[in-house]
């Protein structure tokens, strides 16, 4: 049987071996053991660091401990209105609560006067939405009532509770101009229910802009969430991610220590890039060598494909002047960590292009943040929102200068 290329660089695709993340799993298990929910989870990090995959790996851990798992990807449409958010929650909840019976309903039998048919009332979509619509009050009152009924039903089945696991949660936002506050609604409702002792926990993943957005919506979010920031893998973890998928004796590809070291360097330890580079190398070895051993990585070719597939779309969103600013940032020795407006201003004075003033840098960084290229942390410093973006920019500058 043909041994297929095991590496999967797609967005959110589970890799053949999930390397590292032991500390993050232990932290999640600790949260699962809470009797009273004092902390919810925010799993954050740059794109390509493996947030979606890690969140999905938490699901069986939660189910094993008796939790029901509600999950989906969020989108901007969820934030259009408070009712949209409530509909999202009811839709996702119904998948895992439709087996819970909460009563018996008498229904008349057509054509037979005085005869009724008994029907079980389950917490399916129709019941949840009906309960939401019938409950008087604001959207928060309605949603609280729905979740209280669900919690009671789960308790009667000796369930541990319900985890609401949502990916891309940074897309949630309040719509003040429309007087709709779905993000604030979500935080208010869960804080209220958790204060009452209901075991309903949020597990949100998103870009580093997520937690500041939560705190901006409701300051109590600082105390409501345990924030876990995913970093790149260590060299040892990266090595496992590279080698374990090809340890099978039937695998035709073998990678030496020098090649593995080069892959770690190229990928920066980011899971997506490890999968991308390894997939390209695997295909190259299979097609160009006779013995399945690789002695030299086609670095330039792989980087060119990575630039086209991953970086080019994001780079194209920036104007020429914004690209000049990003090129200045890429020259900073700390560009892959944190940088300040003042550092950018000073570095811009050293380059060939027109220098930047502080107010101009602030304005451009705010726009680049909206484009998902940079983000501002709570200490007023900035970072690239895309891993290895500095390397890509330096390659673009070198190419244009050649």
Write the pLDDT tens digit of every residue in 254-294: 888 888 999 999 999 999 999 999 998 888 777 765 555 66
Query: To the nearest whole percent, how much of the chain has pLDDT over 90?
Result: 57
Pairing of strands 293-294, 254-255: parallel
Two tokens, residue 293: 């051993």
Query: To the nearest whole percent, how much of the chain has pLDDT over 70?
Result: 93
**Number of neighbouring beta carbons within 10 Å of residue 334:** 13
Q: Are residues 145 and 78 in the same domain?
A: yes
Task: Give me the CATH number covering residue 67.
Answer: 3.40.50.300
User: Quick one: DSSP state of residue 136?
Assistant: -
Distance between CA atoms of residues 333 and 323, nearest Å: 18
Task: Give domain status of residue 4, yes or no.
Answer: no
Looking at the 3D structure of the chain, how many domains does it have? 3
Task: Give domain status of residue 126, yes or no.
Answer: no
pTM of the model: 0.86
Q: Are residues 35 and 144 in the same domain?
A: yes
Query: How do residues 156-173 score in pLDDT, each as one tens digit?
Result: 887 789 999 999 999 899
Q: Are residues 243 and 381 in the same domain?
A: no
Task: Give domain status of residue 15, yes or no.
Answer: no
For residues 325-329, give the mean pLDDT: 93
Q: Are residues 180 and 281 in the same domain?
A: no
Task: Give domain status of residue 118, yes or no.
Answer: no
Query: How do residues 140-150 score in pLDDT, each as one tens digit?
Result: 999 999 999 99
Task: Give domain status of residue 375, yes or no.
Answer: yes
Task: Give domain status of residue 81, yes or no.
Answer: yes
Burial 127-161 (b: 16+ CB within 10 A, else e): bbbebbeebeeebbebbbbbbbbbbebbeeeebbb
Q: Are residues 36 and 90 in the same domain?
A: yes
At 89 the pLDDT is 94
Q: Are residues 207 and 272 in the same domain?
A: no
Q: Are residues 50 and 190 in the same domain?
A: yes
Q: Are residues 308 and 326 in the same domain?
A: no
Q: Are residues 306 and 339 in the same domain?
A: no
Two tokens, residue 156: 């009667």
At 116 the pLDDT is 60
For residues 333-348, give the mean pLDDT: 91
Task: Give domain status of residue 9, yes or no.
Answer: no
At 399 the pLDDT is 79
Helices assigned H by DSSP within 196-298: 210-217, 221-224, 235-243, 257-267, 271-288
Among candidate residues 177, 207, 229, the one where a domain is terminated: 229
At 91 the pLDDT is 94
Task: Give domain status of residue 119, yes or no.
Answer: no
Q: In which domain, by residue range, is 377 found?
A: 317-401
Identify whether the C-beta of residue 71 lies closer than 8 Å to the C-beta of residue 166: yes
Among candidate residues 160, 194, 229, the one where a domain is terminated: 229
Distance between CA atoms of residues 33 and 347, nearest Å: 49
Query: How do residues 91-132 score in pLDDT, each as one tens digit?
Result: 999 999 998 887 776 665 555 555 566 677 788 999 999 999
Give backbone dihedrals phi and psi of 117, rounded to 5 degrees, phi first. -115, 135
Among candidate residues 186, 213, 229, the one where a domain is terminated: 229
Could you give the angle at which helices 82-97 and 139-156 cross, rounded to 10 degrees? 10
Distance between CA atoms of residues 400 and 114, nearest Å: 85
**Number of neighbouring beta carbons within 10 Å of residue 111:** 6
Q: Are residues 266 and 386 in the same domain?
A: no
For residues 317-335, give the mean pLDDT: 92
Could you give the angle at which helices 257-267 and 271-288 cross, rounded to 10 degrees? 140
Distance between CA atoms of residues 395 and 402, nearest Å: 11
For residues 314-331, give the mean pLDDT: 91
């Amino acid at each position: 049987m043909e041994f297929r290329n095991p590496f999967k660089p797609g967005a959110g695709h589970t890799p053949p071996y999930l390397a590292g993340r032991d500390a993050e799993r232990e932290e999640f298990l600790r949260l699962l053991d809470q009797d009273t929910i004092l902390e919810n989870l925010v799993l954050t990090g740059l794109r390509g660091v493996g947030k979606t995959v890690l969140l999905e790996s938490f699901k069986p851990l939660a189910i094993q401990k008796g939790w029901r798992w509600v999950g989906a990807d969020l989108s901007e449409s969820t934030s259009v209105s408070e009712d949209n958010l409530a509909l999202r929650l009811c839709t996702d909840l119904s998948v895992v609560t439709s087996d819970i019976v909460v009563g018996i309903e008498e229904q008349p039998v057509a054509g037979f006067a005085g005869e009724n048919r008994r029907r079980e009332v389950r917490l399916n979509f129709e019941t949840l939405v009906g309960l939401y619509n019938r409950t008087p009050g604001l959207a928060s009152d309605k949603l609280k009532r729905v979740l209280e009924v669900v919690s009671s039903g789960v308790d009667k089945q000796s369930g541990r509770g319900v985890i609401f696991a949502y990916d891309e949660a940074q897309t949630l936002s309040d719509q003040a101009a429309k007087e709709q506050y779905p993000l604030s609604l979500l935080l208010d409702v869960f804080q209220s229910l958790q204060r009452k002792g209901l075991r309903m926990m949020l597990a949100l993943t998103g870009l580093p802009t997520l937690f500041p957005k939560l705190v901006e919506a409701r300051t109590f979010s600082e105390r409501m969430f345990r924030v876990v920031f995913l970093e790149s893998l260590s060299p040892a973890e990266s090595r496992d991610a590279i080698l374990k998928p090809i340890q099978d004796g039937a695998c035709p590809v073998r990678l030496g220590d020098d090649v593995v070291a080069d892959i770690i360097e190229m990928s920066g330890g980011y899971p997506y890039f490890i999968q991308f580079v390894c997939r390209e190398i695997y295909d190259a070895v299979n097609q160009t060598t006779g013995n399945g051993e690789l002695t030299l990585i086609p670095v330039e070719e792989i980087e060119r494909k990575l630039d086209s597939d991953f970086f080019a779309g994001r780079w194209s969103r920036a104007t020429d002047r914004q690209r000049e600013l990003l090129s200045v940032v890429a020259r900073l020795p700390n560009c892959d960590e944190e940088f300040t407006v003042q550092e950018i201003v000073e570095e811009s004075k050293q380059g060939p292009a027109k220098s930047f003033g502080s107010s101009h840098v602030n304005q451009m960084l705010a726009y680049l943040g909206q484009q998902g290229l940079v983000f501002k942390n709570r200490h007023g410093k900035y970072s690239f929102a895309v891993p290895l973006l500095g390397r890509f920019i330096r390659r673009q500058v070198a190419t244009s200068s050649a």
